[in-house]
């Protein structure tokens, strides 16, 4: 029977205490670390995907319970189910709405990376490529609090208003929304923002990734440095000239880790030139 109780029973049958210990170290769950307090059962990703496929038809109220769980694997199953629901449903706004309003539970890098491009990135990309007004209106109301928070933060830091270039309807564009995420005080919202641009990159649209990379150049967290460098590398796979142009302008300002990720696939001689400049 497809219900939340059976899902949890199936998951616990696969628990492996030894793997759980390894995963809790790998995902930095110690005091003061980014994954502090996260609990693992020790179930590997392929098994989580299988469970998610079996329980794909769970109601969103049950998915919400999974997303709010203290157990990492339950939150990951929730993300897999949401990605599948977004792919298959005709009510994509509902899944997007659910994702945005539950971002506080998408609180580790693997949860972000498997879901942000395929839900946030895809939804915003499609909104931009359609008539877009109704979708962006929907996004505007979802992000209203985040807009306010970002404005307040920007005013505190620079005493300047955070400016946008809204559509003629006065509503925010997809890039505005991604920029708000990138300016968030929350590490995972910032990572959601930059990782969402992966969907744009896959469709050979690079502006969003480059703009967010600029915003995040001075970010303090290693997980953001890695994500930005990764996205720049993905841009370079499709348009090397665009990545090189960006690096020539900003590589000296980049954190070392961000630059290393961005130039990972460059020829050794070219890599050393950038590293010496950094």
- Reading the chain (278 residues) residue by residue, the pLDDT tens digits are 889 999 999 999 999 999 999 999 999 999 999 999 999 999 999 999 999 999 999 999 999 999 999 999 999 999 999 999 999 988 888 898 899 889 999 999 999 999 999 999 999 898 876 544 345 445 544 555 555 555 555 544 544 444 444 444 445 678 888 888 898 889 999 999 999 999 999 999 999 999 999 999 999 999 999 999 999 999 999 999 999 999 999 999 999 999 999 999 999 999 999 999 88
Q: Does domain 1-88 have CATH number 2.40.30.10?
A: no
Cross-strand partners of 71: 39
pLDDT (0 to 100) of residue 136: 47
So what's the pLDDT on residue 277? 85
pLDDT of residue 165: 47
Torsional sign, CA 40, 44, 45, 51: negative
Listed residue (99, 124, 96) closest to 112, CA to CA:
99
């Amino acid at each position: 029977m497809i219900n939340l109780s059976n899902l949890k029973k199936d998951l616990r049958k696969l628990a492996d205490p030894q793997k759980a210990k390894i995963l809790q170290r790998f995902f930095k769950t110690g005091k003061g670390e980014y994954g502090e307090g996260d609990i693992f059962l020790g179930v590997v990703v392929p098994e989580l995907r299988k469970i998610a496929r079996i329980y794909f038809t769970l109601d969103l109220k049950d998915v919400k319970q999974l997303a709010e769980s203290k157990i990492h694997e339950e939150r990951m199953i929730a993300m897999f189910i949401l990605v599948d629901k977004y792919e298959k449903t005709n009510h994509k706004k509902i899944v997007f709405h659910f994702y945005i309003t539950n971002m506080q539970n998408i609180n580790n890098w693997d949860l972000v990376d498997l879901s942000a491009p395929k839900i946030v990135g895809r939804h915003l990309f499609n909104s931009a490529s359609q008539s877009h007004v109704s979708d962006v209106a929907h996004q505007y109301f979802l992000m209203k609090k985040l807009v306010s928070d970002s404005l307040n933060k920007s005013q505190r830091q620079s005493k300047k208003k955070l400016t946008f270039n809204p559509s003629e309807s006065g509503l925010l564009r997809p890039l505005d929304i991604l920029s708000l995420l990138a300016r968030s005080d929350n590490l995972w919202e910032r990572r959601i923002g930059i990782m969402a641009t992966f969907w744009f990159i896959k469709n050979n649209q690079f502006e969003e990734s480059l703009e967010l990379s600029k915003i995040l150049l001075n970010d303090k967290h290693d997980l953001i440095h890695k994500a930005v460098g990764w996205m720049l590398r993905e841009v370079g796979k499709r348009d090397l000239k665009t990545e090189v142009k960006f690096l020539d302008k900003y590589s000296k300002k980049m954190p070392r880790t961000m630059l290393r990720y961005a130039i990972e696939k460059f020829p050794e001689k070219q890599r050393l030139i950038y590293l010496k400049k950094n």
